[in-house]
């Protein structure tokens, strides 16, 4: 743990004008307030805020941030107050500490809701001052470093939250160093076996090629010198988590990855970057589709570099990154690399486009959980870069469509989108955009968002806007229907129906307006009889039950809502229709699916790429447009894998253990072929959804005993 004078000296080393007195007072204040409190590790609690402050000094943050780091837990965990901190340390420190204080006093329904509410508050706070996010990331980093002292269940929850929220946030502001460490610790906790397997393979490669990296660096230095480029060259291994992600994304084994080793060439200026690139490409064969120019087209977080994959020195496939020293600083330290606080300025989070988009999602989400879901979608890596007709650059996640592009331009453009021209040609709205596409959105004032769009858009902003419109549209229909139902019910009993009477019973139904009551009746959440009984408490039921029943039969009452007893959660089916999953492709939640009407058996659910669908190509009348419902992942589904195992003692047990550790359950196992060296297996596994099965596949691919594994569609 840093001592008081050591922390002050660190800050003064890069900011001679730092407020030394305030730093000393904050250190002592934190020690006194936390007093005898202990962490789970047994260390004094004040060691945590001191370590958080120490992490912040590595990024050369201003003294206000360091003080806020020292005090960030005092309001939540001690008797300190925001007013006291404002009086002792000033309004800026108080604002930062207030932004970091959790919603501890709010009683929330679930852990997920609590996570969503805390993240919502963090977003609002960092939209006013980005330093809130920087301190929160330092706080999370130190907590992750001491994660092993927590109980297993808590470790898993914190690690998942870190991968879902905090690592992507760190990447969004370019804090590469923090992002990588957060990912590695979380990965080790969530996928221990895969982590150990990849680490073992990296250690093996390191031992086998201990002289390889120095040899490649030496040759690249010679190449640059001969080409007249002054450069500093370094080499490094990719992190285990980044290797795991690439294995998942590319559906590849460890051995198939070409860029496990990366080399950086740092030069003086932009011109030298392209000169160095020319030297590399003239001497070595480029690996197809491995070239990316983030200098001419920077990432949304400001990242600039040239990436290229080549068959380099020693005949080794490597990735080479070329950048200037200034680019390197920004790429590693992100927003902290071009700090403006020394001049008394404040970096307002709203100035960052991605934060503005998250705020728009916050406005449009119906509840904290939906906000958190759409925010996760919005934060992951931007992979596709497209242009407006005026040449403006729009960064989008991979698999984005023109509708995603339209909402990225502006919500009004998305809401009125009727078509799109991609590179001058009219294309369907569900077309997947490619890097470099020029997209022109066609709009109409008469257009409204379609619920169908929600099936193919991928950005959180688009999903939030579409769902908001659908909710509003549904509400209008429910309000009109509910009013009709109530009017008919009151009239059937010869009672006066008036809004004045409904106003008096609003509290009975947790409604804020008469429209709320109409909507609840129309949706079937409240019966018309209950409302009438509340307005006329002394009235006895006569023929009213028949009226209510007639509405339910027509699909307007609770009988139309899904229940836990529904065997399959599928949208797009006619109520009461029999449904079963096709045994040829074993579709899982996450797959695109289609329904085929079969004689005497109802509807068979196939994945969209199932080969068996070819036989129905000439019978379009049998096809149904269906999708997974909200509760589809609550049960278990069968995912089928084809696996080739080494024919050695214990490999079958290893396979079973790896699947079990990934929370999968083997439902059936069939050995289809066996030789002296290999087993070929078909394994049916009970999983939650496609992502669950993909995680299992990636874990198996990381094992030495598994030669091949892939999903079996037949």
Three-class secondary structure of residue 632 per DSSP: helix
Q: Which two tokens stand for residue 200?
A: 């073992």
Could you give the C-alpha distances from 271 to 233, 322, 324, in angstroms and in order? Answer: 17, 11, 10
H or E, element range at 393: strand 393-396
Residues contacting residue 546 through CB under 8 Å, at least 6 positions apart = none
Classify burial at 10, counting beta carbons within 10 Å of its beta carbon; exposed 0-12, middle 13-18, buried 19 or more: buried
What is the edge-to-edge ordering of all strands in the sheet holding 593-598? 579-581, 602-607, 593-598, 623-624
Q: Which two tokens stand for residue 94?
A: 């108080």
> Which residue(s) pair with 311 in the sheet?
285, 317
What backbone torsions phi and psi does residue 596 show, to the nearest 5 degrees?
-120, 120
| CA 112 – CA 372 distance, rounded (Å) | 9
Q: Which two tokens stand for residue 256?
A: 């198939």
What is the length of the chain? Answer: 714
Q: Which two tokens stand for residue 430?
A: 């569900």
Classify burial at 220, counting beta carbons within 10 Å of its beta carbon; exposed 0-12, middle 13-18, buried 19 or more: buried
Active site residue 84: no
Active site residue 77: yes
Q: Which of 179, 87, 94 is nearest to 141 (CA)?
A: 179
Residue 124: CB atoms within 10 Å: 15
| CA 205 – CA 212 distance, rounded (Å) | 10
Question: Looking at residue 627, what DSSP letter applies?
Answer: E
How are beta strands 317-324 and 261-267 bridged, if at all? Answer: parallel
Residues contacting residue 359 through CB under 8 Å, at least 6 positions apart = 123, 124, 127, 350
Classify burial at 639, counting beta carbons within 10 Å of its beta carbon; exposed 0-12, middle 13-18, buried 19 or more: buried
User: Taking a C-beta distance cutoff of 8 angstroms, is the pair 287, 344 a contact?
Assistant: no
> Which is catalytic among the residues 9, 43, 62, 76?
76
Q: Which two tokens stand for residue 306?
A: 């040239």
| CA 595 – CA 582 distance, rounded (Å) | 10
| CA 483 – CA 576 distance, rounded (Å) | 28
In angstroms, how far apart are the furthest CA atoms of the chain? 99
Three-class secondary structure of residue 631 per DSSP: coil
| CA 222 – CA 390 distance, rounded (Å) | 44
> Which is catalytic among the residues 6, 15, 20, 77?
77
The terminus-to-terminus CA distance of the chain in angstroms comes to 58
Residues contacting residue 484 through CB under 8 Å, at least 6 positions apart = none
3-state SS, one letter per residue, for 116-159: HHHHHHHHHHHHHCCHHHHHHHHHHHHHHHCHHHCCHHHHHHHH
| CA 368 – CA 376 distance, rounded (Å) | 12
Q: Which two tokens stand for residue 518?
A: 């109409």
| CA 584 – CA 680 distance, rounded (Å) | 19
- For residues 31, 32, 37, 41, the Cα torsion angle rounded to the nearest 10 degrees is 10
- Give the active site residues: 76-77
């Amino acid at each position: 743990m840093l001592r008081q004078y050591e922390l002050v000296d660190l800050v003064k080393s890069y900011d001679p004008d730092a407020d030394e007195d305030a730093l000393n007072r904050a250190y002592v204040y934190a020690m006194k307030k936390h007093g005898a409190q202990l962490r789970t590790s047994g260390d004094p609690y004040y060691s945590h805020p001191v370590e958080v402050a120490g992490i912040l000094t590595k990024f050369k943050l201003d003294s206000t941030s360091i003080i806020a780091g020292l005090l960030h837990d005092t309001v939540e965990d001690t008797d300190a107050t925001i007013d006291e901190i404002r009086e002792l340390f000033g309004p800026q420190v108080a604002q930062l500490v207030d932004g970091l204080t959790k919603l501890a006093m709010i009683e929330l329904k679930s852990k997920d809701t609590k996570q969503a509410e805390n993240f919502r508050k963090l977003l609002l706070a960092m939209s006013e001052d980005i330093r809130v996010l920087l301190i929160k990331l330092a706080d999370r980093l130190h907590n992750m470093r001491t994660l092993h002292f927590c109980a297993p269940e808590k470790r898993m929850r914190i690690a998942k939250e870190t991968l879902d929220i905090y690592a992507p946030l760190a990447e969004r502001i370019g804090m590469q160093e923090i992002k990588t460490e957060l990912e590695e610790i979380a990965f080790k906790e969530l996928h221990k076996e895969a982590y150990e397997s990849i680490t073992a393979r990296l250690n093996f490669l390191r031992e086998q090629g201990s002289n390889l990296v120095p040899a490649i660096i030496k040759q690249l230095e010679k190449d640059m010198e001969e080409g007249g480029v002054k450069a500093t060259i370094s080499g490094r291994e990719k992190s285990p988590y980044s290797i795991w992600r690439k294995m998942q994304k590319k559906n590849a084994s460890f051995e198939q990855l070409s860029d496990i080793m990366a080399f950086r060439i740092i030069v003086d200026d932009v011109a030298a970057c392209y000169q160095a690139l020319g030297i590399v490409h003239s001497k070595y064969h480029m690996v197809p589709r491995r070239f990316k120019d983030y200098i001419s087209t920077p990432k949304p977080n400001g990242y600039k570099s040239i990436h290229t994959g080549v068959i380099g020195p020693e005949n080794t496939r490597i990735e080479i990154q070329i950048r200037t020293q200034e680019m390197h600083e920004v790429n590693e330290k992100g927003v902290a690399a071009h700090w403006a606080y020394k001049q008394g300025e404040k970096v307002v989070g709203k100035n960052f486009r991605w934060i503005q988009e998250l705020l728009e999602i916050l406005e449009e989400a119906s509840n904290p959980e939906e906000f958190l879901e759409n925010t996760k979608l919005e934060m992951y890596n931007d992979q596709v870069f497209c242009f407006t007709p005026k040449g403006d650059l729009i960064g989008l996640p991979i698999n984005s469509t023109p509708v995603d592009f339209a909402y990225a331009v502006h919500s009004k453009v998305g809401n009125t989108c009727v078509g799109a021209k991609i590179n001058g040609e009219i294309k369907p709205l569900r077309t997947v955009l490619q890097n470099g596409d020029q997209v022109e959105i066609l709009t109409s004032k008469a257009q409204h968002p379609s619920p169908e769009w929600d099936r193919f858009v991928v950005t959180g902003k688009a999903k939030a806007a579409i769902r908001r419109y659908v909710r509003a549209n549904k509400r209008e229909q429910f309000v009109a229907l509910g009013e009709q139902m109530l009017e008919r019910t009151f009239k059937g009993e010869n009672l006066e129906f008036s809004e004045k009477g409904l106003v008096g019973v609003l509290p009975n139904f947790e409604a804020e307006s008469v429209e709320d009551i109409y909507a609840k009746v129309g949706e079937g959440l409240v019966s018309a009889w209950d409302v009438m009984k509340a307005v006329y408490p002394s009235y006895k039921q006569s023929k009213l039950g028949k009226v209510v029943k007639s509405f339910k039969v027509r699909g307007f009452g609770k009988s139309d809502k899904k229940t836990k007893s529904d065997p399959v959660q599928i949208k797009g089916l006619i109520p009461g229709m029999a449904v079963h999953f096709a045994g040829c492709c074993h579709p899982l939640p996450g797959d695109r699916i289609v329904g085929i009407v079969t004689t005497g058996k109802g509807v068979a659910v196939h994945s969209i790429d199932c080969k068996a669908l070819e036989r129905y190509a000439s019978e379009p009348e049998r096809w149904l447009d269906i999708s997974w419902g909200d509760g589809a992942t609550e049960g278990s589904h069968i995912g089928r894998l084809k696996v080739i195992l080494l024919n050695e003692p214990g490999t079958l047990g290893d396979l079973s253990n790896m699947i079990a550790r990934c929370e999968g359950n083997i439902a059936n196992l069939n050995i289809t072929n066996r030789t002296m060296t290999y087993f070929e297996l078909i394994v049916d596994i009970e999983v939650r959804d496609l992502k669950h099965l993909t995680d299992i596949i990636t874990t198996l691919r990381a094992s030495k005993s598994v030669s091949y594994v892939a999903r079996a569609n037949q």
